[in-house]
Chains A and B, each alone.
Chain A
Amino acid sequence: MQKFERLEGLVAPLDRANVDTDLIIPKQFLKSIKRTGFGVNLFDELRYLDEGYPGQDASKRPLNPDFVLNQPAYQKARILLTRRNFGCGSSREHAPWALEDFGFRVVIAPSFADIFYNNAFKNGLLLITQPEDVIDRLFRELQAGEGYRLDVDLENQRVITPSGEILEFEVDAFRKHCLLEGLDDIGLTLKDEDAIRAFEQRHRAERPWLFRETAQA
């Protein structure tokens, strides 16, 4: 998992509540054998005018010119600003995969669905919750001019707006630690690498036939 310490980045607005995982990444794309490449199908139904299917050449599809991520100003957005209950619906881990593959590292909203919340942190996506009125204000500031950026500082748990305003946010200590260190489940287990190596050495000495190179030697 990629580490997350601090990110100063462009913000894209998605002004809609209850964005479900089917909207984030429609089910026909779940057949893939990969966990990358979902970025072109992020928000597929909103983004394109035709129906998407896996393996298509997305560059040939008709774009919905009204959709925010299709506007040139937001092509390099790293932070998504959106409304309440983001990520509701199925448990698909493809939703955070798609957001990250597009380039997002942070989503800011009044609230998130539970399973999505878990999946996002597991995959290195930082979710920030702010009160509805703060979210409203951010939307207004963003719409006032192009190139709205935010500075997200995970270590100190704060977001700094262009005017220098500081918004504090809550994050569970364990999740924060994992993000700062870039630790997923595997990363965590690998913290015990020495214990695993020591066990393995003993195991190999006691039962060499369980190890093929030694057994065949």
Chain B
Amino acid sequence: MAGQTLYDKLWSQHLVKERDDGTALIYIDRQLLHEVTSPQAFEGLRLAGRKPWRLDANLATPDHNVPTTVKERAEGNAGIKDPVSLIQVQTLDDNCLAFGIEEFKINDPRQGIVHVVGPEQGATLPGMTVVCGDSHTATHGAFAALAHGIGTSEVEHVLATQCLLAQKMKNMQVRVEGKLGTGVTAKDIVLAVIGKIGTAGGTGYAIEFAGSAIRDLSMEGRMTVCNMAIEAGARVGLIAVDDTTIDYLRERPFAPSAGQWEAAVADWRNLVSDTDAVFDKVVELDAAGIEPQVSWGTSPEMVTGISGEVPDPSEAADETVQQGYARALEYMGLKPKQKITDIKLDKVFIGSCTNSRIEDLREAAKVARGKKVAGSIALAMVVPGSGLVKRQAEAEGLDRIFVEAGFEWREPGCSMCLAMNADKLGAGEHCASTSNRNFEGRQGYGGRTHLVSPAMAAAAAIAGHFVDVRRLAGEPQSAQEA
């Protein structure tokens, strides 16, 4: 019999019961809650007179709606000007208090984007099942945790039963072998993967990212890769446990106590696909061939290397693609064959659950150090993923580098990733963004999002248009450059 994949192992370790109709009851170890998708779930519990099954499995924090300016944040919840947002955040506070769920409130230093907070606290551990009412829950798969987004009625289901009704997915392996070029990052890997397999390429699969280029990534980089598995259509992204995983978790607040650490690590070491495991599909990429990526369209698969150009819709393979490209170019205000480096920018956003961790900020700061944001850029902002990331960055002096260069240094939250708070693009504005979705209107009505890595975003802020970060950083021309 063939061996098991990492996904197979995680699945069977959590299988409570298989039903005749092909669905299964899966036990959930961790649920992360935020203010947008939880209110009706709590309301449902109340209406039915139910209690959460296991309080210690839950952890909550407000992130989607919170303001990111220092002045408003100083006022706590009262600083939230939009009444609907305010009610959502207050309702989360009330529900957590009433049910006894641990919450990092708006001005708790540990508050932040759920997908940054969970791993940072060690609340995401290898071998766990992790759910959250948010599609980017795939992020936590970087720890070899089976993690995916769920809907509000499922949030209620997990609260009440500690289980989820699920169906087993198929296995896909994405192997990225070789060494990344200087200035090329995890974000570029995942954008290149999506560019290759498309936004529906992973539908129905759990994707395991493997290969030497993935193993060489830090945990922050691995989270960036798994975060965007959903943009390739896969609800689950996974990376096997190794020393990097274990070193990251040591002494995190929610990590196993000293007495249990050794046993936990021994258990985690098994969280890798067996060498003879069979995947339903395998995709291979050469790391050395990946350039810094920039998305030009309105879907994450509409992406190309920095030395590339906007495609000519008339040259696309079939009519549907042609139409899709033409519509995207019209929305984005771009011309066929326009060089990526000629795209002028109005705003720059460094943040989101994809790229707001300490390492992301370090990479951006390295590029921004001693430089100035171009005069043509109306707003360049850096939004750390959590209060602890912010503190760490300030301890390292990164905030000063950003502020001196002309970036705004903000308070943690989702911010302009989805523009639910006051941080938005204006109609027609082009933004270099380290977030994960470039859909029409995502960052504000009529706004034009280009997805890039933190280093590429910082470089673009300084130049006023996209540039090859490898050149800006003064690196010697590498062999991979076309």
A interface residue numbers (CB < 8 A to B): 1, 31, 33-36, 184-186, 189-190, 192, 195-196, 199-200, 203, 207-213, 215-217
Given contacts A199-B27, A200-B162, contact A186 B39 (CB under 8 A): no
Q: A33-B88, A210-B125, A210-B127 are in contact. Are A216 and B257 (CB under 8 A)?
A: yes
Per-residue 0/1 for B116-135: is the Cβ within 8 Å of any A Cβ (1 yes, 0 no)? 00000000010110000000
* Bound-state Cα–Cα, A36 to B40, Å: 9
- The answer to whether A185 and B27 have CB atoms under 8 Å apart is no
Q: What are the nearest 9 A-B pairs in CB distance?
A: A209-B256, A33-B39, A212-B56, A189-B161, A199-B16, A209-B260, A209-B264, A186-B160, A210-B29
Report if A196-B16 is in contact (Cβ < 8 Å); known contacts: A209-B256, A209-B260, A215-B256: yes
Task: Report A-chain residues with C-beta under 8 Å of the C-beta of B263.
Answer: 209
Q: Assess whether B56 is in contact with A211, with CB atoms less than 8 Å apart.
A: yes
Tell me the complex Cα distance, A36–B46, Å: 10
Tell me whether A36 and B256 are in contact (CB under 8 A).
no
User: What would be 23 A-B contacts, judged by CB atoms less than 8 Å apart?
Assistant: A33-B39, A33-B88, A33-B91, A35-B44, A185-B153, A186-B50, A186-B157, A189-B25, A189-B161, A189-B165, A190-B161, A192-B16, A192-B25, A196-B163, A199-B16, A199-B27, A208-B260, A209-B255, A209-B257, A210-B29, A210-B127, A212-B57, A215-B257
* Chain A interface, DSSP helix/strand/loop, else mixed: helix
Interface residues of B in 37-84 (CB under 8 A from A): 39-40, 43-44, 47-48, 50, 53-54, 56-57, 84
Judge whether B256 and A189 touch: CB under 8 Å.
Answer: no
The reply to whether B160 and A190 contact each other, CB–CB distance below 8 Å, is: yes
B44 cross-chain contacts in A, Cβ below 8 A: 35
Closest to A189 in B: B161
B17 part of interface (Cβ distance < 8 Å): yes
Q: How far is the CA of A185 from the CA of B127 in the complex (A)?
A: 27
Cβ contacts under 8 Å, B48 to chain A: 1, 184, 186
Q: A195-B16, A207-B264 are in contact. Are A212 and B25 (CB under 8 A)?
A: no
- Give Cα distance in the complex from A192 to B19, angstroms: 11
Bound-state Cα–Cα, A208 to B255, Å: 11
On whether the beta carbons of A189 and B40 are closer than 8 Å, the reply is no
Q: Known contacts A200-B27, A208-B260; is A186 also within 8 Å of B127 by CB?
A: no
Bound Cα distance A216, B254 (Å): 8
- Across the interface, A196 reaches (CB within 8 A) one of B27, B91, B264, namely B27
Given contacts A196-B27, A209-B256, contact A185 B157 (CB under 8 A): yes
Q: Which residues of A contact B50 (CB under 8 A)?
A: 186
Contacts of B54 in A (CB 8 A): 200
How far does the alpha carbon of A1 sit from the alpha carbon of B87 in the complex, in Å? 26
- Inter-chain CA distance A151–B263, complex, in Å, is 63
CB distance from B326 to the nearest CB of A (A): 31
* Residue numbers in A under 8 Å from B14 (CB-CB): 203
Residues of B within 8 A of A210 (CB): 29, 125, 127-128
B396 touches A (CB below 8 Å): no
Interface residue? B103 (CB, 8 A): no
Question: If A186-B160, A200-B162 touch, does A35 touch B43 (CB 8 Å cutoff)?
Answer: yes
Contacting residues, chain B, for A196 (C-beta < 8 A): 16, 25, 27, 53, 161-163
Query: Which residues of chain A come closer than 8 Å to B165, judged between CB atoms?
Result: 185, 189
In angstroms, Cα B29 to Cα A129, docked, is 43
Contact A186 B161 (CB under 8 A): yes
Nearest chain A residue, comparing its CB with the CB of B157: A186
Q: Are A186 and B16 in contact (CB under 8 A)?
A: no
Q: Which residues of A contact B39 (CB under 8 A)?
A: 33-34
Q: Of all chain B residues, which has the CB nearest A93?
A: B153
Residues on B with beta carbons closer than 8 Å to the beta carbon of A34:
39-40, 43
Say yes or no: is B156 at the interface (Cβ < 8 Å to chain A): yes
In the complex, which of the residues A35, A200, A217 has the most CB atoms of chain B within 10 Å of its own CB atom? A35
Instruction: Give the Cβ gap from B241 to chain A, nearest Cβ, in Å.
Output: 14
Interchain CB contact (< 8 A) of B260 among A36, A186, A215: A215
Q: A216 to chain B: which residues have CB within 8 Å? A: 257
- Kindly state the separation between the CA atoms of A209 and B257 in the bound complex, as whole angstroms: 8
Closest to B39 in A: A33
Question: Closest CB of chain B to A66's CB: distance in Å?
Answer: 33
User: CB-CB < 8 A to B251: which residues of A?
Assistant: none
A192 to B165, CA, bound (A): 12
